[in-house]
Structure 1
């Protein structure tokens, strides 16, 4: 499998779980603005090796999710800010700054977990 993107969770905002009911996780590089950091999963890097696309696999810790749709702002937002929204709802279209994933049990993210995207 070819690595497309890789980072590591450095902090979990106190209100990051507020969006779990909507099957959403918000990622932001660990230099996120203070007013946003509390709602985000913060991570250490944002080097995107290739454009993320539908059919790639997202891995968080030891759980994998098929990527169904990639919004048109994901590459720029991820590269520049490390900021995207992961949506675990099975949708095959949606908002520009989001990656849409298969609808299955969401991961329980912990500090130190790796977040990676691979291509077969």
Structure 2
């Protein structure tokens, strides 16, 4: 598998669970503004190595999810701020430029130290 992006979850904001009902996780680099950090998975900001495409796989900890749609700003935002939204709703058309859409399955538990990777299809 070819890795397109790789980072690590450094900290989990205390309010992250509030978005699980909306099937969302929000990523932000460790430099997240204080008012947003509580709602985010804080990650290392790393560059995207190759274009992220529909059909690629996002691995979060031990769980894998198929990518169903990619917003226009996902790669730029990940590389510069580490800030995107992961939407686990199976959408095939990106509604928001900073969102990465994934298959509609249950979001498994995420822990500090877990890796987040995107692999080629």
Answer yes or no: same fold by TM over 0.5.
yes
Q: TM-score range, shorter-chain basis?
A: over 0.9
Where has structure 1 moved over 6 Å in runs of 4 or more? none
User: Is residue 2:52 matched to residue 1:52?
Assistant: yes
Deviation digits for residues 48-68 of structure 1, max 9, x if unmatched? 111211111000011000000
The answer for the alignment partner of 2:5 in structure 1 is 5
Gaps of 5+ in 1: none
Q: Does 1:15 align with 2:21?
A: no
C-alpha separation in 2, matches of 1:30 and 1:62: 22
Instruction: In structure 2, list runs of 5 or more residues that go unmatched.
Output: none
Normalised to the residue count of structure 2, the TM-score between the two structures is 0.96
Q: Hey, what does 2:96 align to over in structure 1?
A: 95
Count of paired positions = 120
Cα-to-partner distance string for 1:49-103 (whole Å, 9 max, x where unaligned): 1121111100001100000000001111111100000000111112111000001
Check the 8 A contact 2:7/2:116 in 1, yes or no.
yes
Q: In structure 2, the residue corresponding to 1:35 is in which secondary structure? A: helix
